């Protein structure tokens, strides 16, 4: 809804539309003289060869500066910073039985920041080739700054984080995106990161780990497996799109998707009705969370040996440790715990044209570590090592979808700083009239423009849905 003429809100609205138009231009620029797309694979390969990085599983006894706390069994860093592995007891109205599991506790709000600068009249974004200990392939495209509060407070006693000052109270910064967003609530307790895009005018010195890319180039790279990391996907999903900026001529999926992102269509539900669906769930669903000593998990099917904490079923996930050596990180070597899932995940967004307008079917999800009971997630979010597949709405429909229905399909890595080889298959599946428009409670149809509008604020869309918003752009 357009704000009142002459109001501060109208000025902000106009500024956001202007930014959205510039974002749209960058998204429509698939190559650049600054960093030609053809040079990106060679740059990444050369960087990987030139800079040694190795992460190997080690026993818990090999952890340095980490310890299992007497009396609780919690796994902590000796500084009391970074993160810890603790126990979490949960129950809900749907499952009133108390269950205890290990959970990553990281109360600090980290920073995911991307610098933007205009070259030849087109916005470019400063991407970093960054290895993480949990990445399945080592090196991935990361934000300009990807740091915990402990990192930029230099608790590690290593090198300072490059470009950090552009995001922390810089007097001449122009903020294009600034929102606190959640991360995986199955594995984190109330984890949040500040997602930022800041535009600069002046040249900044960069080394061989950084390259300027247009949004169109980055979205092209999102078609590849395990290349654009989770944090980059999260930040870039938050960039604004301008309603009315694109009519999406034609009847193909690409045109329909552009209209859903950039056009000004009539949605099935107005934005208030979309958010009310989530508010209903937050108000009526019961999610009980209680932090408990990690040792309590050993009474509920979890076991610890010298190298891992795992569930006796062999499913879900395990807590392990790695030793890392890195030439170009703030610290040259370290050890740390990581969470390793026992199976690849699936996150699927079902889309359908309703009244000629492309809508996405989102679900209000409550995971064990969710901060405020629920957030919107994809239509389907599932791991084979998780709940019974029969209990997951729309999973059978997604699995039955043939290649003619799949509009996006790639395997992407989750955050490699806390998870080891955590990968998820991301799908956008177009449904036809065989899928009823009426949906179960807790589900809602929304246009992509509506979802992007919600991303100007925190805690509406979970990280898996944010990835699918970013990846959907690569579908046309």
pLDDT of 170-197, one tens digit each? 777 899 999 999 999 999 999 999 999 9
List helix spans (H) across 393-462: 395-400, 448-454
Do 173 and 261 reside in the same domain of the chain?
Answer: no
**Number of structural domains in the chain:** 2
Do 353 and 389 reside in the same domain of the chain?
Answer: yes
Other CB atoms within a 10 A radius of the CB of residue 205 amount to: 7
Q: Is residue 87 part of a domain?
A: no
Q: Is 385 helix (H, G, I), strand (E, B) or coil?
A: coil
Least confident among 117-126, 278-287, 321-330: 321-330
Asked if residue 218 lies in contact with residue 236, where contact means CB atoms within 8 angstroms, the answer is: yes
Q: What is the pLDDT of residue 429?
A: 98
Other CB atoms within a 10 A radius of the CB of residue 179 amount to: 18
Asked if residue 93 lies in contact with residue 182, where contact means CB atoms within 8 angstroms, the answer is: no
By residue range, what is the domain housing residue 410?
Answer: 253-287+342-474
* Alpha carbons 201 and 46: distance in angstroms, whole number: 29
Do 430 and 378 reside in the same domain of the chain?
Answer: yes
Other CB atoms within a 10 A radius of the CB of residue 35 amount to: 19
DSSP 160: P
* Alpha carbons 323 and 102: distance in angstroms, whole number: 21
Q: Is residue 312 part of a domain?
A: no
Task: Reply yes or no on whether the pLDDT at 247 is more than 80.
Answer: no
Do 126 and 179 reside in the same domain of the chain?
Answer: yes
Q: What is the pLDDT of residue 326?
A: 85
For residue 210, report the phi and psi dihedrals to the nearest 5 degrees. -125, 145
Place of tokens 């007891």: 89
Render the burial of 245-272: b for 16+ CB within 10 Å, e for the rest: bbebeeeebebbbbbbbbbebebbbebe
Q: Is residue 319 part of a domain?
A: no
Q: Give the pair of three-digit tokens for residue 328.
A: 């170009």
Do 224 and 367 reside in the same domain of the chain?
Answer: no
Do 373 and 273 reside in the same domain of the chain?
Answer: yes
Q: Give the pair of three-digit tokens for residue 79.
A: 């500084």
Q: What percent of the chain has pLDDT over 70?
A: 92
Least confident among 151-160, 191-200, 216-225, 388-397: 151-160
Q: What is the pLDDT of residue 334?
A: 95
Helices (H) and strands (E) in the chain, counts: 10, 25
Q: Is 123 helix (H, G, I), strand (E, B) or coil?
A: strand
The residue among 181, 212, 238 that closes a domain is 238
- Give the H or E element holding residue 335: strand 333-341
Q: Give the pair of three-digit tokens for residue 456.
A: 């100007």
Asked if residue 127 lies in contact with residue 218, where contact means CB atoms within 8 angstroms, the answer is: yes
Q: What is the pLDDT of residues 345-397, one digit of tens each?
A: 999 999 999 999 999 999 999 999 999 999 999 999 999 765 566 789 999 99
Do 151 and 176 reside in the same domain of the chain?
Answer: yes
Do 280 and 161 reside in the same domain of the chain?
Answer: no
* Alpha carbons 427 and 406: distance in angstroms, whole number: 7
Q: Is residue 324 part of a domain?
A: no
Asked if residue 62 lies in contact with residue 321, where contact means CB atoms within 8 angstroms, the answer is: yes
Q: What is the pLDDT of residue 329?
A: 62
Do 213 and 263 reside in the same domain of the chain?
Answer: no
Asked if residue 313 lies in contact with residue 303, where contact means CB atoms within 8 angstroms, the answer is: no
Task: Reply yes or no on whether the pLDDT at 328 is more than 90.
Answer: no
Do 202 and 273 reside in the same domain of the chain?
Answer: no
Task: Reply yes or no on whether the pLDDT at 230 is more than 90.
Answer: yes
CA 127 to each of CA 35, 173, 391: distance values in angstroms, whole numbers, following the listed order: 11, 18, 40
Q: Is residue 81 part of a domain?
A: no
Q: What percent of the chain has pLDDT over 90?
A: 81
Do 208 and 355 reside in the same domain of the chain?
Answer: no
C-alpha 237, offset from chain centre: 9
250 HSE (CA, 13 A, CB side): 10
For residue 193, report the phi and psi dihedrals to the nearest 5 degrees. -135, 145
The closest of 37, 260, 296 to 141, measured between CA atoms, is 37
For residue 113, report the phi and psi dihedrals to the nearest 5 degrees. -125, 135
Q: Is residue 102 part of a domain?
A: no
Do 273 and 196 reside in the same domain of the chain?
Answer: no
Other CB atoms within a 10 A radius of the CB of residue 24 amount to: 21
DSSP strand pairing (345-354 vs 423-431) = parallel
Domain holding 455: CATH number? 3.90.79.40
* Alpha carbons 202 and 425: distance in angstroms, whole number: 39
Asked if residue 232 lies in contact with residue 224, where contact means CB atoms within 8 angstroms, the answer is: no
Name which residue leads in pLDDT, 390 or 426.
Answer: 426
Intra-chain end-to-end CA distance of the chain, in Å: 27
Name which residue leads in pLDDT, 2 or 443.
Answer: 443
Q: Is residue 222 part of a domain?
A: yes
The residue among 205, 238, 271 that closes a domain is 238
* Alpha carbons 235 and 244: distance in angstroms, whole number: 23
Q: Is residue 381 part of a domain?
A: yes
The residue among 214, 238, 262 that closes a domain is 238
Measured over the CA atoms of residue 196, residue 200, residue 205 and residue 211, the dihedral's sign is positive
């Amino acid at each position: 809804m357009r704000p009142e003429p002459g109001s501060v809100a109208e000025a902000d609205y106009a500024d956001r539309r202007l930014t959205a138009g510039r974002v749209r231009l960058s998204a429509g620029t698939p190559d650049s003289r600054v960093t030609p797309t053809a040079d990106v694979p060679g740059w990444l390969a050369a960087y990987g060869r030139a800079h040694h990085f190795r992460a190997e599983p080690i026993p818990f006894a090999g952890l340095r500066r980490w310890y299992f706390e007497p009396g609780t069994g919690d796994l902590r860093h000796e500084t009391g910073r970074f993160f810890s592995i603790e126990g979490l007891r949960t129950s809900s109205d749907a499952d009133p039985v108390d269950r205890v599991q290990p959970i990553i506790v990281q109360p600090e709000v980290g920073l995911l920041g991307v610098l933007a600068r205009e070259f030849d009249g087109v916005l470019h974004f400063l991407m970093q080739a960054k290895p993480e200990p949990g990445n399945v392939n080592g090196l991935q495209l990361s934000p300009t700054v990807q740091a915990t509060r402990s990192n930029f407070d230099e608790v590690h006693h290593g090198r300072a984080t490059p470009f950090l000052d552009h995001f922390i109270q810089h007097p001449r910064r122009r903020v294009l995106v600034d929102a606190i967003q959640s991360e995986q609530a199955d594995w984190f307790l109330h984890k949040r990161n500040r997602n930022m895009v800041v535009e600069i005018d002046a040249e900044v010195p960069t080394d061989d780990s950084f390259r300027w890319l247009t949004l169109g180039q980055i979205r092209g790279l999102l078609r590849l497996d395990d290349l654009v990391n989770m944090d980059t996907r999260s930040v870039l999903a938050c960039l604004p799109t301008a309603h009315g900026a694109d009519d999406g001529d034609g009847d193909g999926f690409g045109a329909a998707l552009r209209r859903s992102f950039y056009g000004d269509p009539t949605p099935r539900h107005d934005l208030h009705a979309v958010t009310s669906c989530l508010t209903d769930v937050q108000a009526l669903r019961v999610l009980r969370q209680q932090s408990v000593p990690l040792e309590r998990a050993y009474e509920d099917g979890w076991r610890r040996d010298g190298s891992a904490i795992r569930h006796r079923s062999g499913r879900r996930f395990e807590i392990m440790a790695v030793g890392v050596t890195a030439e170009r990180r703030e610290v040259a070597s370290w050890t740390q715990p990581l969470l390793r899932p026992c199976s690849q995940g699936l996150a699927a967004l079902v889309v359908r044209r309703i009244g000629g307008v492309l809508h996405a079917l989102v679900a209000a999800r409550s995971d064990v570590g969710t901060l405020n009971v629920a957030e919107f997630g994809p239509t389907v979010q599932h791991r084979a090592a998780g709940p019974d597949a029969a209990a997951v709405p729309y999973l059978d429909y997604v699995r039955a979808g043939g290649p003619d229905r799949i509009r996006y399909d790639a395997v992407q890595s989750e955050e490699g700083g806390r998870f080891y080889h955590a990968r998820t298959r991301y799908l956008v599946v177009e449904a036809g009239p065989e899928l009823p428009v009426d949906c179960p409670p807790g589900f809602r149809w929304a246009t992509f423009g509506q979802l992007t509008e919600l991303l100007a604020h925190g805690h509406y869309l979970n990280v898996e849905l944010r990835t699918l918003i970013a990846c959907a752009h690569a579908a046309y």
